[in-house]
Amino acid sequence: MPALITELAETDLLQYVRKLRGLREFPFKQILSILWQITLALEHIASLSMVHRDVACRNILLTESGIAKLADFGLCCQCDESYTYRASLQKRLPLKWLSIEALVNRLFSEKSDVWSFGVLCFETFSDGSIPYPALSNVEMLEVLQSGKRLEKPIKAPNEIYDLMLKCWKEQPAERPSFKDLSHDLRNILEDETRSYGYLTLEFAKNDE
């Protein structure tokens, strides 16, 4: 029987970010790399007219070398010619990660996965906090329909929170695609890489 051998994943993103709680150093560049890899995987899925429907930190496996692997395709589905999928009422879904149109009309598309990716970013920069912890599902939907969104995590820079807010636009057409997100994250990552050496030298001067 043919088999595919891949690098062993030591942990998942949720466990990884929860271990960062209380640490003074936050591996921002490493986190950016992971998020960028996730958008590339989801961009590929979208190119196949498929929707993952369970984009969350718990479903991102991480290898020791920092490679991110999208996992748990149990809710993944094929879209129709309109690039959408209407879900049945039978499957249990991760409600606090779902977009408004998915919650109200059970409509899924690349743009509903984009919404979920925004929630994944919230998890990542809040040390794995659960979204909307004090709200019931009904209350959460009411809050979202009123225009309110998850607050900015302390560890999230403004440019990352701005990206998250774009993912949470009420109208799916106004949200970025995963191609857009991968481009934006790559630019942020490249800027971080370019500035890293200068920051190090500046700190060295201050220490002299």
Pick from 79, 173, 60, 159: which is nearest to 117 by CA? 60
Q: Which tokens in the block code for residue 65?
A: 């070398």
Q: What is the CA radius of gyration of the chain?
A: 18
The C-alpha atoms of residue 30 and residue 53 are separated, in whole angstroms, by 25
- Is 11 in a helix, a strand, or coil? strand
Looking at 12, 54, 113, 184, which residue is catalytic? Answer: 54
Asked about 191 being catalytic, the answer comes back as no
CB 175 within 8 Å of CB 167: yes
- Within its chain, how far is the Cα of 145 from the centroid? 21
Dist CA 146 CA 150 (whole Å): 12
Three-state secondary structure call for residue 203: helix
With vertex at residue 86, the alpha carbon angle to CA 54 and CA 162, rounded to the nearest 5 degrees, is 50
| Residues annotated as catalytic (active site), given as ranges | 54
